[in-house]
Amino acid sequence: MPGHCHHRDPSEVTQPVREGAPNRKGIWEFCWHSLFSEYGWSFFWRVALPHPMKTTKALLASRKLDFSASITTLAAEGLERTFGGARSIVGVGFCLKPLNPPCPSGRFNHDCHYLEHLLHGEPTHVPAPCRQCMIREIGTLTLRTGAAFYIMTSAKEILFDVFAPALDVGRFSSGLFVLCRYSLHPFAFGLLAAGIRGWLIPFEKGDCQDYKTWLQADRGVKEEQTEIDRPNRIHIRDILQTAAKEPLISARFERQGHILSLRMTTRGERQANAECQ
């Protein structure tokens, strides 16, 4: 049963370090270029300047993390037990969207036709592009945890949709994020500064390898579809199935800005939906 699935410890999932894993030079290259970008200045004014101590501690803590591992954990005591619910979020890169056939919602956006049209847990029709889509699978599993679901696009939007609300009003405290390995370190830095703990899971194929390709993707230019390797797909399922709380039949997503949040349907709504089918 989902609530009793074995939760793998990150140390159980072993794989060789992929060639092209981030190094210190690449990380500092990212930070240097970001100083002159809109995101860099936005991060400075929204996070670093009003929260200098949190920012400094986050920078020091992020430098101690191992980003060459298959999974990077931003540890917090009892993370596995507390993950799920309104203050948790699952974020995936837009580049997981299928290319052939193409995603019906388009690519460089926060939209998911499948997840936004779920009726009491299961749509009447699954479009062909959605059938093998990891965003559909991860999003459906997320729904039962009560966590928010977020398709990540640009760094600036992640700053204003995730980091800033977490800092300002405590909107999020834990999360699971799937993203390119090149941006693991700066992303972890932002999460730590915002007070968010959780798991960072890198793509295995099709992801950005340097600042130039990352910047193109940040602007929506991404010709490859990214992939998650099998061990990490299993780990994602384990985390989300262990955190499952809500019966799928009474849960659906509701759009709040760029983020999909849990909304529990009433019996009357479910009956009305059933009559419309």
What is residue 11's predicted lDDT score, i.e. its pLDDT?
37
Mean pLDDT of the chain: 84
What is residue 33's predicted lDDT score, i.e. its pLDDT?
73
Task: Give me 229's structure tokens.
Answer: 């390797």
Which pTM does this prediction carry?
0.85
Residue 259's DSSP bridge partners are 256
User: Could you tell me which residue, 95 or 271, shows the higher pLDDT?
Assistant: 95
Phi, psi of 141 (to 5 degrees): -65, -35
Averaging pLDDT over each range in 29-43, 112-126, 223-237, 261-275, which range is the top one? 223-237
What is residue 15's predicted lDDT score, i.e. its pLDDT?
40
The CA distances from residue 185 to 13, 67, 189, in Å, are 20, 7, 6
Hey, how many other C-beta atoms are within 10 angstroms of the C-beta on 182? 26
Instruction: Reply yes or no on whether the pLDDT at 234 is more than 70.
Output: yes
Domains of the chain, residue spans: 23-276
- Please tell me whether residue 244 adopts helix, strand or coil conformation: coil
Kindly report the three-state secondary structure assignment for every residue of 42-88: HHHHHHHCCCHHHHHHHHHHHCCCCCCCCCEEECCCCHHHHCCCCCE
- Flag the least confident range among 26-30, 138-142, 173-177, 206-210: 26-30
Task: Give me 30's structure tokens.
Answer: 């990212």
User: Could you tell me which residue, 123 or 39, shows the higher pLDDT?
Assistant: 39
Residue labelled with tokens 């920012």: 55
What is the pLDDT confidence band of residue 250, given thresholds at 50, 70 and 90?
confident
Distance of CA 71 to the CA centre of its chain: 13
pLDDT tens per residue, range 18-42: 444 444 454 567 677 776 688 889 9
pLDDT tens per residue, range 151-204: 999 999 999 999 999 999 999 999 999 999 999 999 999 999 999 999 999 999
What is residue 2's predicted lDDT score, i.e. its pLDDT?
40
Spell out the residues 6+ positions from residue 162 whose beta carbon is closer than 8 angstroms to its own. 89, 91, 150, 172, 175, 194, 196
